[in-house]
Amino acid sequence: MKTYQDIKSAATIDAIIPYVEALLDIRFKCVKKNRYNAPCPFHADTKENFMVYVNKEDEVRFHCFGACKGDWDIADLIMLRKKYPFRRAQQVWAEHLGVAEFTFDDGRSPCIPEPDETAEPDEPVGFVEPKQPDEKMVATLDDAASFYHELLMSNEDRFRTVWDYLARRGVEKDTIRRFNIGYAPPYSDEQHHGRALIAGILPRVEKDPGIFNAFSDAGLVRFLNDGSVKGYGYYSRQIDFRRKDPFSRNYGDYFAGRMVFPIYDADAGVTGMVGRRPESRGVRWLKHQAREVPLSAKSWLYGIEKAAPYIRQYRTIILVEGLFDYFAFYNLLQGQDKLVVASTLGSYLTPEAATILKGLDIENYIAAYDWDELGRNGIERAAVQSGGWVYYLGGLADGQDPYDKLEPVVSAISGFSLQHL
């Protein structure tokens, strides 16, 4: 009885080549005996980096010497293309060869996770030392923010779940417009398939491939065949072999499935983005990170572009943890011309953000963080970073929001002092 090794040996290479050509819609060029090359179908390959060869174990292997660095056997390719489990992929290949009985490899593919074993992940994004993004990257981020915003604004009925979620959190249509909030449809979306932004820029990319590089370098698209990332099993299943162009086949929108909140600096220049799922599961937030020119999330202060003039006037700032904490105070303060609130996007005022705030001549800091361990630690760190008075909201009851504490005393905010609070 044949083994799995037998049905992928060098003796099967003449059957493997035409099968893989049809499977992946590529054409191989014979370089020499048992050696073939083709453009890699798993990334935007402009050269023939996809190689077929026979290794020392007499096994036919596929390897990309280009961007994706992938390494597969015939079953791996069937798993990727057909979304089959390892055992089923072996069986499909054996049946194609006319092998009625063989001994399965009962292990797991070392390259491809089993289908459905990896859910959509929320990978944490590490911080980097701040670097000044160039004008091209800022323009690219602004372009993407506007695209997602227009997509959300023009599809109220289609994205009703998103609109309803934002409304429940106090973010109404006028606020969505003011803050350029958008939405990136998920991979399960029947129209966009997690590629709304990519489809939007594709006509420009066809004329100038460098445009795609700008969006990739800005961290706005995700390479789906990156075996080094958390959730590779999930993303590799999103490769869409029905698409002819390599960009929309092998890449997806980085924020697919999330509401998109652009982050601006005090001069209203976009410096990054934050994504949030419109449902409460897993780690719901995703911070954006650029590739080639890292954008430091350490200096992010959500809403600072709206608040800066008022902060200078009242010499006061209210620091909150989350975006929806921010919108609660925004709705309260904007009508009183006291919009002195910004979100640190977490219970931590970083030295980089503190430096920005010191440039606004702030005398009084109100740290409206939750009264849990993280919040209390954040208040202490804010006191160290600010170098001034820091007021905090002690004694919050379980489930009580900082907004509930501050709302009755907002009228005390003046251009003089908050000590009577």
Please report the pLDDT score of residue 284 as a whole number. 63
CATH class of 135-295: alpha beta
From the CB of residue 418, how many other CB atoms can be counted at a distance below 10 Å? 18
Average pLDDT over residues 312-340: 86
In the predicted model, is pLDDT for residue 128 greater than 80?
no
* DSSP structural state of residue 6: G
- pTM listed for this prediction: 0.82
**Taking all residues of the chain, what is their mean pLDDT, rounded to a whole number?**
85
Equal fold, 135-295 vs 304-412: no
In the predicted model, is pLDDT for residue 298 greater than 80?
no
Structure confidence by residue, pLDDT tens digits, 216-263? 888 899 999 888 887 888 888 899 988 888 899 999 999 999 999 999
In the predicted model, is pLDDT for residue 137 greater than 90?
no
More confident residue, 88 or 67: 88
pLDDT band at 290 (very low <50, low <70, confident <90, very high): very low
Task: Count Cβ atoms within 10 A of the Cβ of residue 2 and give its class: 0-12 exposed, 13-18 middle, 19 or more buried.
Answer: middle
Structure confidence by residue, pLDDT tens digits, 349-395? 888 888 888 888 888 888 888 877 888 888 888 888 777 678 887 77
- Please check whether residue 221 is in contact with residue 253, taking contact to mean a CB–CB distance below 8 angstroms: yes
Its CATH architecture, for the domain 304-412, is 3-Layer(aba) Sandwich (3.40)
- Please check whether residue 13 is in contact with residue 60, taking contact to mean a CB–CB distance below 8 angstroms: yes
Domain coordinates in residue numbering, the chain: 2-103, 135-295, 304-412
- Please check whether residue 40 is in contact with residue 68, taking contact to mean a CB–CB distance below 8 angstroms: yes
Question: What's the half-sphere exposure (Cβ side, CA atoms, 13 Å) at 376?
Answer: 6
* DSSP structural state of residue 347: S
Q: Are strands 221-223 and 316-320 parallel, antiparallel or unpaired?
A: unpaired
Cβ density class 372-385: b for 16+ within 10 Å, e for less: eeebbebbebbbeb
In the predicted model, is pLDDT for residue 212 greater than 80?
yes
pLDDT band at 291 (very low <50, low <70, confident <90, very high): very low
In the predicted model, is pLDDT for residue 342 greater than 90?
yes
Q: Is the dihedral of CA 44, 45, 49, 53 positive or negative?
A: positive
Q: Is the dihedral of CA 295, 165, 400, 174 positive or negative?
A: positive
Please report the pLDDT score of residue 127 as a whole number. 35
What DSSP line would sit under 364-387, residue for residue? EEEEE--SSHHHHHHHHHHHHHH-
Six-digit token string for 397: 């009851």
Six-digit token string for 30: 């014979």
Structure confidence by residue, pLDDT tens digits, 148-186? 999 999 999 999 999 999 999 999 999 999 999 999 999
pLDDT band at 126 (very low <50, low <70, confident <90, very high): very low
Quote the strand ranges of 24-160, DSSP E.
29-32, 35-38, 50-54, 60-64, 71-72, 102-103
Alpha helix (H) ranges present in 102-209? 135-153, 160-168, 173-178, 196-207
Question: What's the half-sphere exposure (Cβ side, CA atoms, 13 Å) at 384?
Answer: 11
Q: How far is CA 49 from CA 25, 36, 187, 212, in A?
A: 15, 10, 28, 20
- Please check whether residue 133 is in contact with residue 290, taking contact to mean a CB–CB distance below 8 angstroms: yes
* DSSP structural state of residue 412: G
Name the CATH topology of 2-103: DNA Primase; Chain A (3.90.580)
From the CB of residue 361, how many other CB atoms can be counted at a distance below 10 Å? 9
Q: How far is CA 268 from CA 307, 315, 394, in A?
A: 11, 20, 33
Please report the pLDDT score of residue 296 as a whole number. 47
pLDDT band at 287 (very low <50, low <70, confident <90, very high): low
pLDDT band at 293 (very low <50, low <70, confident <90, very high): very low
Structure confidence by residue, pLDDT tens digits, 6-59? 999 999 999 999 999 999 999 999 999 999 999 999 888 888 999 999 999 999
Please report the pLDDT score of residue 217 as a whole number. 84
Q: Tell me the angle at which helices 74-82 and 13-24 cross, rounded to the nearest 10 degrees.
A: 20
Q: How far is CA 318 from CA 65, 195, 347, 379, in A?
A: 52, 38, 13, 12
Measured CA to CA, the distance from residue 54 to residue 31 in angstroms comes to 13
